[in-house]
Amino acid sequence: MKNRTTFAVAITVFDFQNLRSLLNHYGEFLGLDSKRVPNNPAASQFVEALAKAWTEYNDPRAVVMFVVQADERDMGGQAIAVVYFRAGYTLNDYPSESEWRARLLMEQSSAIKCPSISYHLAGTKKIQQELVKPNVLERFTSGFKFHPLSHYYPNRFNTLFLELVATKRMVTVVTTSNLKAFYHLHVSRRNRRPGLYVMKPQREGGGNNIYGNDVKEALMRLQKEGSEADAAYILMQRIFPTVSRTFLMRNGICYKDDTVSELGIYGAYLRNREKVILNDQCGYLMRTKAASSDEGGVALLWVQVEQTSSFQLQ
């Protein structure tokens, strides 16, 4: 059994070192002798006590948890160097103006954000829609020429993003005024299968896309409501990857199923103005899901994480 030590930390919120610095700086002006003020190492020694308690717990993977009130004001005066967004990608993460103000404060700070607001926005479909327009990406690079996938695979793709559509509030790629008109012109009117398209919002992760016949129903619902909510969506040609028969393990049960896989490459990029400090490939993520599943998302349990193996063709 592990030995656990219990102790309480009294009020040590005051930064006595800063108080001493103020005395050293203004003491003579105030007629005070800073040398007569006894040293008060409360904050530093309580930190040492917490560290010793952590050591006594004897688990190098353990952490120290601070329980604070919602309106905690004692932040200790530490500068924040890096902000890593483990959350903040959905509207559910911003239930009130308080969260939006906190996000604005972080963005206006000099801390390094991961991701930066520009990279965060680049993950949305509306921004991607603008980036794939001719000669747009070239503005951000030198010596590179970008082509749609149809340039390399003319028999498989019409365009990189097939006739991306936006409403009058955004720059349009096709001459239709909204998604409903595009769907009627290119899907319903020409009797194309609606399953060839997917309607995507400005969201990350699984559970947000609209597929097949649901696309038409969603567009009709938006039209009936008389809203311009369709401005938050784009319509894309759906890509159907190769299906393979694979053994999967879930809840301790092994079974065989038709699956599709997606390989993602991790990358780390750090830049200070024009100076690139880090630009490395950092491994990969192989995700596999049932071919019958439209959605994908590891956290939502639609997808399973796999390891890859390499082989040489004979």
| pLDDT tens-digit map of 221-237 | 777 776 666 677 777 77
**Where are the extended beta strands (E) located within the chain?**
82-84, 112-114, 197-200, 210-211, 234-237, 244-250, 253-272, 275-290, 304-306
Q: Any bridge partners for residue 290, and if so which?
A: 259
More confident residue, 282 or 169: 282
Encode pLDDT of 287-307 as tens digits. 888 888 776 554 444 456 665
Give the residue from 299, 122, 110 showing the smallest Cα distance to 202. 122
- Per-residue model confidence (pLDDT) at position 17: 65
Distance CA 13, CA 18 (A): 12
The full set of domain ranges for the chain reads 1-78, 82-122, 149-237, 244-306
Which tokens in the block code for residue 242? 């190769």
| CATH code for the structural domain at 244-306 | 3.30.470.20
Side-chain-side CA neighbours of 55 within 13 Å: the count stands at: 6
Distance CA 109, CA 179 (A): 38
pTM: 0.66
Q: What percent of the chain has pLDDT over 90?
A: 18
* Sequence-distant (≥ 6) Cβ neighbours of residue 236 within 8 angstroms: 125, 161, 162, 164, 197, 198, 199, 200
DSSP secondary structure, 203-223, as one string: --SSS--EETHHHHHHHHHHH
Residue 175: band (very low, low, confident or very high) from pLDDT cuts 50, 70, 90: very low
Which tokens in the block code for residue 271? 């830049």
What 8-state DSSP symbol labels residue 194? G
Residue 168 has pLDDT above 50, yes or no: no
What backbone phi and psi angles, to 5 degrees, belong to 146?
A: -100, 140
- Per-residue model confidence (pLDDT) at position 103: 95
What are the contacts of 173-179 at 24+ separation with CB within 8 A? 173/129, 173/133, 178/230, 178/231, 179/219, 179/230, 179/233, 179/234, 179/235
Domains 149-237 and 244-306 equal at CATH topology level? no
Pick one of 3.60.21.10, 3.30.1490.50, 3.90.1150.10, 1.20.1560.10 as the CATH number of 149-237.
Answer: 3.30.1490.50
Distance CA 305, CA 266 (A): 14
- Per-residue model confidence (pLDDT) at position 184: 63
Instruction: Give the chain's mean pLDDT.
Output: 74
